[in-house]
Amino acid sequence: MDEKSNRQSREASTSTPATLVAEPTSSGSSASSVAPKREVASSPDQDDRRARAVHPDTDHAEAEAADPGHELDVELGRAQTMEEIRRIGTRGSVKSKASRVLSVVGRRKTKDRERIPFIPVPVTNLDQGVIGWEGQDDPEMPLNFPNRKKYLILCLLSAITLLTPFASSILAPGITYLNRDFGNENEIVGAMTVSVYLLGYTVGPLFLAPLSEIYGRRVVLSSANWFFCVWQIGCALAPTIESLIVFRFLAGVGGAGCLTLGAGIIADLFRTDERGFAIGIVTLGPLIGPTVGPVIGGFVSQTIGWRWDFWIVLITSVVVCGLTELFNQETNPRVLIERKVKRAAAESGRTDLRSCYETGEQMSHRRILLNGLVRPTKMLFLSPLVLFISIYIAFTYGTLYLLFTTIPIVFQETYGWSIGITGLIYICLGIGNMCGWAVVTATSDKGVVRRTKENHGVFEPEMRLPLSIWASTLLPITFFWYGWTTQYHTHWILPVIALFPFSFGIIGIFIPLTTYLIDCYPIYAASAIAANTVARSLAGMLLPLAGPSMYQNLGFGWGNSLLGFICILMIPVPLLLHRYGARLRKMGLQL
């Protein structure tokens, strides 16, 4: 009889598993009991469940392991008696357990649908003497920082990248007052007080970028920020126009730090499908700052004096730099692993430990520094990809500053506006920048994810470029429209509106191409952007100096039309990069 009962019990257990049901106790808490087993006819749902038992769902298994109540449920499943079940005291019913697992699976699958597969990071292998990360989910790795920490660093970085370009143009409306105070009658010297700041932008990146890749982002960024702040005092107290030019140059050297290192910090913190939005936040400053600067600078110069331009920059910069000191931290993975190697070697006494990022022969610090200092120049002149992008962005950036120089002339001389009111024209440029930024940041990463899926899960950096192709068609519209409406002295609203397509389009060029450089050179992103910043800043400094003579000889109509025709010739550049960029990347450059 016992043998027959055991056989029936085994048959029942193969037809339907036992189900644990929570039942209330006298104390109001939930206990679990074993429901009776009964045979039921096979159904399609049961067949599907049996199939999943034979071929388990890996996502479900991972979610089970991730579920906080998983260990408790395992113990409960091993319980043999009601006493053990009551002792374990499960905190949720089977239904709530299933819903938790399904919720985790759903979140994971949703996340997987939105992500691009990434290259695994190198991990520690003590047998081979390699020190790396403690797994792909190592919380010490900047890519795995909590979003709260990532975006705090990003916001602080974007604040200082807004202030330093803001400082580049805030003085522009006050040149008239500055020349009067110093007794200067040379227009070129007066213009140099503004443009020499951009010359500092060309010098700073050449050594700030490589230093950050050797000694870390945090210490180099901090040093550059405070260097920028100190020279605002010199500018505010400058006794001569010559000393002001020198102090402005030095301030530009320090101000280049955040612009140069921002790309490297983003590459450290964000994965490929997150960089479009992140770079959009940081690169908004270099485009919005120069447009906001003259708006404020015009009223400040007219009311309390041009020297207060620098005091305002100093006060705001000290606040932002102080907050950055408090909350910023190192993000360069190579530097973090190097520090980890030193700690591990000191603790273990082993001398054979090395960084997972080391390849080839060991180099002295002097040689590493020399290679780092030369790298941005090598990338600019020996990498066709970096060279073409730098030339294109440099031209668009230079024309932006060229437009800045025409606005005071057009609206003060042609329309008779005051310096303060003329500064408000720059708001139109800012509105165009914001609209362009909203469109680009909303579509950049999503477009990359979609194209990666269409490419069978394989990401190519050129997937960033379609936005810049259509954006390049907007630039010539502004030059033809703005040039001829100012030439014939039409109603002032027409040249103001004409500035919108350019300010919208330049964002669509600047952000995708900058992100494209980071995607192409993630390890040396700071050096790649440094090369780009040098070319961009040179154009921003030199083109405005050529503007007055060009407009004097050609007039606003044909002068701006000349720039419009050049923009038309430049339209194929992003299209050619999209088509042949992969080939250019493979041409090879030993960094």
Mean pLDDT, to the nearest integer, of 1-21? 44
Mean pLDDT, to the nearest integer, of 580-590? 76
Q: How far apart are CA 405 and CA 349, in angstroms?
A: 63
pLDDT recorded at residue 365: 67
pLDDT in tens, 329-376: 999 999 999 999 999 999 888 888 888 888 766 666 677 778 777 888
Instruction: Count helices and strands (H / E) in the chain.
Output: 23, 4
- Residue pair 392/472 in contact (Cβ under 8 Å)? The answer is no
Let me know if domain 145-331+363-585 sits in CATH 3.20.20.70.
no
Q: How far apart are CA 77 and CA 70, in angstroms?
A: 11
For residue 493 the two structure tokens come to 């609203």
**Top-confidence residue, 41 or 399:** 399
Q: How far apart are CA 559 and CA 333, in angstroms?
A: 49
pLDDT in tens, 552-577: 888 889 999 999 999 999 999 999 99
pLDDT recorded at residue 589: 58
For residue 113 the two structure tokens come to 């649908």
pLDDT in tens, 467-501: 999 999 999 999 999 999 999 989 999 999 999 99
For residue 275 the two structure tokens come to 């960089």
Q: pLDDT exceeding 90 applies to what percent of the chain?
A: 32
Mean pLDDT, to the nearest integer, of 187-209? 85
| Enclosing H/E stretch for 354 | strand 354-355
Residue 446 has pLDDT above 70, yes or no: yes
Smallest CA-to-CA distance from 171 within 286, 83, 248, 283 is with 248
Mean pLDDT, to the nearest integer, of 305-321? 95
pLDDT recorded at residue 83: 52
Amino acid 76 reads L
pLDDT recorded at residue 426: 82
List all residues 6 or more positions away from 535 whose beta carbon is below 8 Å from its beta carbon: 380, 390, 391, 393, 394
| Enclosing H/E stretch for 6 | helix 2-15
- Residue pair 372/527 in contact (Cβ under 8 Å)? The answer is yes
Query: Taking the C-alpha atoms of 245, 247, 248 and 253 in order, what is their torsion angle to the nearest 10 degrees?
Result: 130
pLDDT recorded at residue 95: 37
Q: How far apart are CA 248 and CA 295, in angstroms?
A: 20
Supply φ then ψ for residue 523, to 5 degrees: -70, -40
Distance of alpha carbon 97 from its chain centroid, rounded? Answer: 39
Domain limits, CATH 1.20.1250.20, in the chain: 145-331+363-585
Helices (H), 216-332: 217-236, 241-269, 275-303, 308-327
pLDDT recorded at residue 327: 92
Residue 461 CB neighbour total at 10 angstroms: 21
- Residue pair 301/423 in contact (Cβ under 8 Å)? The answer is no
Q: How far apart are CA 319 and CA 533, in angstroms?
A: 26
pLDDT recorded at residue 116: 66
pLDDT in tens, 56-81: 444 444 444 444 444 544 454 454 55
The whole-chain average pLDDT of the chain stands at: 79
Mean pLDDT, to the nearest integer, of 299-325? 93
pLDDT in tens, 81-94: 545 544 544 444 33
Q: What is the CA radius of gyration of the chain?
A: 31
- Residue pair 22/31 in contact (Cβ under 8 Å)? The answer is yes
Q: How far apart are CA 493 and CA 491, in angstroms?
A: 6
- Residue pair 532/263 in contact (Cβ under 8 Å)? The answer is no
Residue 237 has pLDDT above 90, yes or no: yes
The pTM is what?
0.69
| Enclosing H/E stretch for 131 | strand 130-131
pLDDT recorded at residue 588: 58
For residue 238 the two structure tokens come to 């400058």
**Rama region for 361: left / alpha / beta (φ>0; ψ in -120 to 50; rest):** beta
pLDDT recorded at residue 231: 95
Distance of alpha carbon 177 from its chain centroid, rounded? Answer: 38
Tokens 């003259």 found at: 294
Q: How far apart are CA 287 and CA 430, in angstroms?
A: 8
Q: How confident is the model at residue 1 (pLDDT cuts 50, 70, 90)?
A: very low
Partner residues linked to 31 by β-bridges: 23
**Rama region for 491: left / alpha / beta (φ>0; ψ in -120 to 50; rest):** beta
For residue 446 the two structure tokens come to 């999503």
